[in-house]
DNA sequence: GATCAGGTGTTACGTTATAACATTAGCGTG
DNA sequence: CACGCTAATGTTATAACGTAACACCTGATC
């Protein structure tokens, strides 16, 4: 984590996080239904990025009933709108936001994705680094479409 | 381009570039066959990133005979090994290397991909920016798996 | 011209993702 | 409570991207 030791970084059980997610939705007038809650729980439990189809497997195996891919995609879309999960384009997988229990705003996250085990870290890049990057991009007439950058990485466990 | 005006940046016709690619392969003991040449020509002509399936369409339409997706993928794999094309994970498309006619080594390129029209710019990010990025990544126990970063962008033409 | 490797053809299938339409659940209003 | 509206989910089909496996051909070498 970027700032270990702060209150927002203390260990949170899946249950606690799900409660936060529920209030988050209620305050926005949306509903964290049972199935949405279960998809989010799957992502939280796995502690890594999962594909939509891996989540259908999770539901079948862990919850004892099937949740078809179409439904999972819709639920992931909802959770992403609620800022509870992030979609990772590079990995084509989805990951629970690591800041669900925090109430305050965060900088836009950058994602480090282990291309082997799909563990994900959300980091915040120094502002001046982002500025420098932006300058390089704008110098050739482009604009960053998203500031949620994704980086293919290897984590310590998977690196040889 | 990063350094407009240098010799390597002067306008090159597709034909000239293909000749460079041919000698490049010969010097490495590989063959730029007719079909490989045509796939590369398709990428050069389009001046943007194309998917493997778009390239099969190109061959069918422009060359008058079909080249199946499987073959295109194999050819793209070969061209990538030869450093003549780059595979863009974010866009799931392929783009001709913009430095085929240069003989000298280049820094690892970063790609700016217009997510609307798939025009691509290869830029080189300042070394100190890359260093700073590397530090952020290593601070959380990850390592960049590739230094060929890709950024979702909008080009001037597609930006509102 | 036999042999062998590299290149290509062909078929099948796996994975990710979305479109279109049917059905159900929750919720407010008369 | 019944009605009707909207959100949520179910169901089926299909598109787009990608790879595995095996057959066949071609071109270089002996």
pLDDT (tens, 9 = 90+) of chain B, 160 residues, equals 444 455 555 556 899 999 999 999 999 999 999 999 999 999 999 999 999 999 999 999 888 788 999 999 999 999 999 999 999 999 999 999 998 887 656 667 899 999 999 999 998 888 888 888 899 999 999 999 988 899 999 999 998 6
Calpha distance A135→A130 (Å, rounded) = 9
Global pTM value: 0.88
Which residues of chain B make contact with A126, given a CB cutoff of 8 A? 132, 136
Closest to A75 (Cα-Cα) out of A94, A102, A97: A94
Strand D nucleotides with an atom less than 7 Å from a protein beta carbon: 7-13, 16-21
Mean pLDDT computed over A72-77: 98
- The set of residues with CB closer than 7 Å to nucleic strand C is A 51-54, 69-70, 73, 92-93; B 30-31, 33-36, 67-71, 74-75, 78
Q: What is the pLDDT of residue B62?
A: 84
CA trace torsion A136, A139, A142, A145 (10° rounding): 40
Shortest-distance nucleotide from B72 CA to C1': C8
Comparing alpha-carbon positions, the chain A residue that sits nearest to B160 is: A143
Q: What is the pLDDT of residue A65?
A: 81
Shortest-distance nucleotide from B51 CA to C1': D17
Residues A79-99: b if buried by 16+ CB within 10 A, e if exposed: beebebbbbbbbbebbbbbbb
Residue A96 has φ and ψ, to the nearest 5°, of -70, 140
Which range among A46-60, A101-115, B133-147 shows the weakest confidence by mean pLDDT? A101-115
For an interface test with B, which of A3, A109, A122, A133 has the most B Cβ atoms less than 10 Å from its Cβ?
A133
Q: What is the pLDDT of residue A11?
A: 58
Closest to B97 (Cα-Cα) out of B115, B75, B82: B82
Tokens for A100? Answer: 């669900």
Calpha distance B70→A65 (Å, rounded) = 37
Asked whether strand D has any atom less than 7 Å from the CB of A129, the reply is: no
Q: What is the pLDDT of residue A70?
A: 96
Q: What is the pLDDT of residue B34?
A: 93
Calpha distance A132→B130 (Å, rounded) = 10
> How close is the nearest chain B Cα to the Cα of A66, in Å?
30
Comparing alpha-carbon positions, the chain A residue that sits nearest to B119 is: A142
Cβ B153–A136 below 8 Å, yes or no? no
């Amino acid at each position: 984590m970027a700032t270990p030791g702060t209150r927002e970084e203390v260990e949170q059980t899946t249950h606690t996080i799900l409660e936060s997610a529920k209030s988050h939705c209620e305050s926005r007038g949306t509903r964290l239904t049972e199935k949405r809650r279960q998809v989010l729980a799957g992502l939280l439990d796995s502690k890594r990025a999962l594909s939509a189809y891996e989540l259908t497997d999770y539901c079948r195996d862990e919850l004892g009933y099937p949740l078809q891919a179409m439904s999972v995609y819709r639920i992931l879309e909802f959770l992403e709108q609620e800022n509870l999960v992030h979609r990772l384009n590079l990995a084509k997988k989805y990951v629970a936001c690591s800041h669900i229990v925090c109430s305050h705003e965060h900088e836009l996250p950058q994602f480090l994705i282990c291309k082997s085990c799909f563990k994900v870290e959300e980091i915040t890049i120094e502002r001046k680094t982002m500025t420098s990057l932006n300058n390089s991009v704008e110098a050739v007439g482009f604009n960053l479409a998203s500031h949620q950058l994704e980086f293919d990485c290897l984590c310590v466990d998977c690196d040889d």
